[in-house]
Structure 1
Amino acid sequence: MSPIPQSRRRGLFRRKLVDRIVGVLSIAALVLAIAGMAWILWTVFARGASVLSWEFFVNPSKPYGALNAGIGNALLGTVSITLGAAVMGIPPAIFAGIYLAEFGKGTKLGGAIRFAANVMMGMPSVVAGLFVYAVLVIPMGGFSGFAGSVALAFLMFPVVLRTTEDMLLMVPDSLRESALALGCSRARTSLRIICRSARGGLVTGILLAIARVSGETAPLLFTALWSDAWPKNYFTGPTANLPVLITEYATNSPFEEQHAAGWGASLVVTLLVLVLNISSRIIFKEKHHGR
């Protein structure tokens, strides 16, 4: 058996060394990311857990210096703004994703829609807020929760669209061919069979989009703004919401009690986003195990 040439041994050693270095760097990056996330979670929990109580959740926010400030109105305002954004952004995004996956393959219109969605996914959220401020807030003559919902809907739309397209493309073509062979139209096949087969992935995309916008502050500063009142004027006046409440309490208020309330609100938002992300992962995992 002939010995391994010296040049080949050097090449093998170099490849092993590069592989080892890349592996170590990957593990180090993973540890750094986990450590940073754990640090953030611990800081928010340590500073915000002490203020959580029933009164904290049911009392409304109050002017600077007032005692017993809560987040009840901001919590309801966030739910109403996010729900409005979901109603406006999710249905058209799903239909657009269906078009791209089932009808727009290889077409110029499909390529244009896909390109626009990719650009929108990378668009800073403040740009969406400024756009809605210019085309909706100024003509309406004031801030409103509805304007905030419109801004968040712009951010949700590309996430749901691309997730819908990707999930539908993962459905085997045999299902489409079987349905068409039985006489189903393409529209009926897409809505009743393909979408039903990919419903787990569609729900995952919706949850990820909601998690994406639930903590956005910049768009709401230009649209919904802020109010200490309960969110009764969703269409006509400024609407309380958790992201702007955190900004007001944590940075603008000079009082320590409201600083603590800001940390408590931050903890609530963090937990909500974690629940949405974990739920989406569980649904996506169950979907793949069920195949």
Structure 2
Amino acid sequence: MTITISWINHNIDTKELILISDSRLRSYGAMDQCQKIFPLERGDCCLGFCGDAQIAYPLSVQASSALNNFIKTRTRSFDVLEIKDFLCKILNNLISSWDLKKSEKLTELKETNIFFGGWSWKKSDFIIGYFKYDDSGFVYHKRKTNLPHPFRDQNKSFLFLGDYQGDYEIEIKKILSASFTNSHEKKHISLKYEPLIALNNILSRARNCTDFPLIGGELQMVKIYQYGNTLPYVFRKSQGEHYLFGRKMFDWEKTERPIFHIQNDEVKFSYPLSIIPDVKSYTDDFFQKIPQSEAEES
């Protein structure tokens, strides 16, 4: 099982679709460094999942592979609205190979949701939704999740999928109440990083108790921008602990991706590429400081 959350964040003069998740998969025990968000090669949309990993994970992997394999779905020749329809066919084709009775599939897939969201160049807007299995097969739903009273997402974009929704609503209400203190009866708000902070707090609690066995590991986050690019972020837990798609990075790894960390319920960002000096700093002295092996690579 899992928690997968998405929403739209207004960042200065642009909008971005944010998708986050925990990193635990359960089978014979729990594995806490598992990727649950899958950017597609086309770059303007993502898949995610929650539910029984034995079926939800292979569905996500095979659906990604199928879309990446066809040139029109890989290169944005088809809009994400058309990708949504392709996905529906792919998922239903895959599930048709499962040798269970229809009633058994309904039972097994009851808690399975496949998230799909991205930037539509036809609508000039984000689409956010998920595939859910019913009597007719996988069907795409655009329904969103209400924020806890009295808060309303003015972008109508917040979507929560997965476990412990009640606990999560209590946590995010605390954070929203601290951030938005005006006395309006119905607080129409534009979400920033409050959903991310709430999930981080729930995961922190999960490490210190046995109340949340279905979720765990570290945060993973992907952003999709209006210009149609997808960008995974690295989560910095502490010094020497950095995670990409839930996997702890090795000491020898390098990354150009933005890094975020959360401190005192505040999200902060670092950008490794900003450390690279501009060309006027490329003096002889600068090159003498570069290890020879790296100089040869460049």
Name the TM tier (shorter chain): under 0.3
Indicate the structure with greater strand content: 2
Structure with greater contact order relative to length (CA < 8 Å, sep ≥ 6): 1
- The two structures have a TM-score, normalised by structure 2, of 0.25
TM-score normalized by structure 1?
0.25
* Higher gyration radius (CA): 1
